[in-house]
Amino acid sequence: MGLFKRLLSKKSDDKNSREMSGAVNTGNAKLANWGIRHLGNLYPSEIIELGCGAGRNVPELLKTYPSSRVTAVDQSKASLEKAKEYNKRAIESGRYTARWGDVSKLDEGSEQYDLATAFETISLWPTLKSYFAEVARVLKKGGTFMIVNESDGTEPSGSKLEKIIDGVKQHTAEEIEAALVSVGFSSVRTAHHDSKPWITVIAKK
């Protein structure tokens, strides 16, 4: 399961984590691309990726938005190492930066980004409201926050992960939407995959 691999990668900074990050890049490609397609006609110049993992989503974001720059943050040093390696050319071109960061207390200034993305990472955030509030802080007025999850919070495999890995909490679309609205996001909408438990939640500040 893609989410299981990603969570293991985030929980560890050893050699196994680096190997797992490579597997995540391959396994989550379809999910990430499916999510990005729901963004529609956006023209972001500054994007922040929250929990970048091994960096696979960056080329897709840069290709989709050719005038943009992406800043990626993650708490796993091993994942950041892999992300920098995977996106070496983007770093050299000045379009990509990857660094250690805690989403609960971002170093970024207020109203700095047009788009924030969170691919399969909010299940590791201890509280949705406080983390969502921090995302709202760094987004410009009218900015977009996109969440892409492999689990919709109702399917059995998601519940199993909660028992296997401490600190993991799956959320339903309704829970995510309510938390977003409570911190000031508006125009929240959710897309469900036709045959998989995938969800994409998109909110406007």
- Total count of domains within the chain: 1
Instruction: Supply the pLDDT for residue 114.
Output: 98
Our CA dihedral for 68, 121, 185, 107, rounded to 10 degrees, sits at -60
The H or E element that residue 153 is part of is none
pLDDT at residue 135 in the model: 98
Share of the chain above pLDDT 90, in %: 74
Length of the chain, in residues: 205
CATH number of the domain encompassing residue 38: 3.40.50.150
> What does the pLDDT look like over 123-145, one tens digit per residue?
999 999 999 999 999 999 999 99
Give 170-194 pLDDT, tens digit per residue. 999 999 999 999 999 989 999 999 9
Q: What share of the chain is helix, strand, coil (3-state, %, to 5)?
A: 45, 25, 30
Domain that includes residue 123, residue range: 2-204
User: pTM for the whole thing?
Assistant: 0.87
Q: What is the band of 15 on the pLDDT scale with cuts at 50, 70, 90?
A: very low
